Amino acid sequence: MRDLQKEILELLEKDSRLSKTQLAKMLNVTPEEVEQIIFELEQDNVILKYHTVINWEKQACPRVTALIEVNITPQREVGFDKIAERIYRFPQVKSVYLMSGSYDLCVIIEGETMHDISFFVAEKLAPLEHVNGTKTHFVMKRYKEDGVIFSGEEKDKRLVVSP
């Protein structure tokens, strides 16, 4: 049985700019069917946001991104959730993940300078109750993000077949 929702999600994940008409043609269904499915996915919070990937290095004002390892003490009855919520509410925070391994949370933040990020860690993140330690890693260069290759053009690696 065909899972039209899954197919639409996979296509939108690769390119959220696809119109409902384009999706309908690709899936051999009507634009109204696509529109209804997308509406339901948005209402059910399956589709949360449409995202644009920007190569900030090509702009005059590049941004600095850092990955911060955070060790925390889980809280009774709520575990890691409450402290994670306090962290993800900061506007600089792009992502927060609960991790397995040597640290508990992975926090990804953006700032205009390395100083902005170090200030955030020292003044906002590290002093939070239940935060036991942090390690900050600055992103030096992005090669690929969200399936998009940044350095150079993706070359077609298929072999040419000639008659």
Domain identity same for 31 and 107:
no
pLDDT at 113 over 80: yes
Q: What is the DSSP-derived secondary structure letter of residue 121? A: I
**CATH number, position 84:** 3.30.70.920
Co-location of 39 and 60 in the same domain:
no
Residue 15 within any structural domain of the chain: yes
* Distance in angstroms (rounded) separating the CA atoms of residues 2 and 95: 33
Classify residue 154: in a domain, yes or no. Answer: no
Number of structural domains in the chain: 2
- Does residue 16 lie in a domain region? yes
Answer with the residue of higher pLDDT: 110 or 56: 110
Please tell me the pTM assigned to this model. 0.71
Give me the pLDDT at residue 53, please: 75
Angle at 13 between CA 109 and CA 63, to 5 degrees: 25
| Whether residue 117 sits in one domain with residue 63 | yes
Indicate whether 88 belongs to any domain. Answer: yes
Which residues are CB-contacts of 38 (< 8 A; sequence separation ≥ 6)? 8, 12, 20, 47
SS3 133: strand
Q: 57-100: per-residue pLDDT in tens?
A: 777 777 899 999 999 999 888 889 999 999 999 999 999 999 99
Same domain, 64 and 124: yes
Question: Helix, strand, or coil here: 21?
Answer: helix
160 falls within a domain = no
In this structure, are 35 and 100 located in the same domain?
no
Q: Are residues 37 and 81 in the same domain?
A: no
Note the pLDDT of residue 57. Answer: 73
Average confidence score pLDDT of the chain:
88
* pLDDT tens sequence across 29-60: 999 999 999 999 999 999 988 877 777 777 77
> Which pair of tokens denotes residue 162?
């000639």
Domain residue limits at 32: 4-43
Q: What is the average per-residue pLDDT within 105-110? A: 96
Q: Are 104 and 80 in contact (CB under 8 A)?
A: yes
